[in-house]
Amino acid sequence: MTRVGRALAALRRRGDEEAGGRTARTRGRTTAALAVVAAALPALHSLVPGALGLGSLLETFLPWTGPAVLVLSAVALLRRSVLARVALLLPSAAWLGLFHGVLLPGGPEPAPGAAVLTVVQHNVSDVNPDPRAAARALAGAGADLVALEEVVPGARPAYEAELSPSLPHRAVVGTVGLWSRYPLTDVRPLDIRPEGVGPGWSRGLRATARTPHGDIAVHVVHLPSVRLRATGFDTERRDGSARLLGAALRAEALPRVLVLGDLNGTLDDRGLAPVLDRLGAPDAGAADGFSFSWPASFPAARIDHVLARGATVVRLRTLPATGSDHLPVVARVALPQLAGEP
């Protein structure tokens, strides 16, 4: 018998021994209690205190509460507990209530008459061993817009050489860049530098893409990293940068807006609320599955995003690894006709 088989057999014997006269309807109380906890985490995550970053930490990995339900279900079956199996309906319903959209095929349909752009977002990593190969892979996606983060000076010529033939218009500010099929105007730095960060930190730009379908304000951003420390989940700088980005979006005059970037947070993370509150529906419903983008070696969260206002993300997926610790994200964005457009 394998080690796993012996463990399962031991669990069955333990269940029989602990039953001690309990029926299948009454035993499994511990498993049932854990099921209630597993239901509370996704259903009530917004009530988890923000102290020590606990709320953001839970929300970053919220989809992973699903596997916990599967483990508890296996235990309930082995214990032959009706009580536990009934209790497991709670976390199952809570999890599906949050994430059922990513399990359904396809995303929203473009509105009649809408034009569709292909957009790539990628943190290419400042230590990417082969930036030319990474850029070549991104160029092969057939994108109309490509947003990059961690574009260090030594690697910039490689990205320009591979992307410029199909995307001749570009703007680079600090370590973020935008390559476009269409002319870019009104290019300027986007000040998202949080308090306590030096003046040399430049990780945001704003540009107007002059597409045949109308002008689009494109914001390319790289919010500060979060850190798990002995004192908790440190999101202070990321959250401060998100508030500045939210203020910039509030002041944006163009009706069509794209936010492309490594936000170092998921769409469930409360720290990104200042950004998401200034945009339309998030891109989660358009994703193929969860489309986790980080870390590339074992994707566990999607912190790279294509977000829109006055437009709709209708399809989103990840691309194969490029030598970065992030996976590229490619999205199709529908641009509905504006009033007065032909």
The CATH number that applies at residue 293 is 3.60.10.10
Same domain? For 97 and 29 the reply is: yes
Same domain? For 92 and 136 the reply is: no
Contact 38, 66 (CB under 8 A): no
Handedness of CA 14, 16, 17, 21 (dihedral sign): positive
Q: Which band of pLDDT confidence, cut at 50, 70 and 90, is reported for residue 53?
A: confident
Q: What is the pLDDT of residues 169-198, one digit of tens each?
A: 999 999 999 999 999 999 999 999 999 899
Position 54 pLDDT exceeds 80: yes
Instruction: Please tell me the total count of domains within the chain.
Output: 2
Indicate the residue among 103, 134, 149 that finishes a domain: 103
Q: What is the pLDDT of residues 200-247, one digit of tens each?
A: 899 999 999 999 999 999 999 999 999 888 778 899 999 999 999 999
Same domain? For 142 and 282 the reply is: yes
Amino acid at 118: T
What mean pLDDT do residues 96-118 have?
79
Same domain? For 120 and 93 the reply is: no
Same domain? For 156 and 19 the reply is: no
Peptide bond into 199 cis (omega under 30): no
Position 113 pLDDT exceeds 70: yes
Same domain? For 91 and 155 the reply is: no
Provide the whole-model pTM. Answer: 0.85
Q: Find the angle CA(118)-CA(119)-CA(120) to the nearest 5 degrees.
A: 130
Indicate the residue among 79, 103, 127 that finishes a domain: 103
Q: Which residue has the higher pLDDT, 65 or 113?
A: 65
Distance CA 251, CA 242 (A): 14
Q: Which band of pLDDT confidence, cut at 50, 70 and 90, is reported for residue 105?
A: low
What mean pLDDT do residues 244-268 have?
97
Residue 282: its pLDDT value, please? Answer: 65
Residue 258: its pLDDT value, please? Answer: 97
The number of residues making up the chain comes to: 342
Which residue range(s) make up the domain with 313?
A: 115-335
Same domain? For 181 and 320 the reply is: yes
Query: Which of 5-9, 82-86, 190-194 has the weakest average pLDDT?
Result: 5-9
Q: Look up residue 131 and give its two tokens.
A: 């930036």
Q: Which residue has the higher pLDDT, 283 or 22?
A: 283
Q: Find the angle CA(294)-CA(121)-CA(183) to the nearest 5 degrees.
A: 170
Residue 340: its pLDDT value, please? Answer: 56
340 in any annotated domain: no
232 in any annotated domain: yes
Contact 110, 141 (CB under 8 A): no
Query: Which of 15-24, 251-260, 310-319 has the weakest average pLDDT?
Result: 15-24
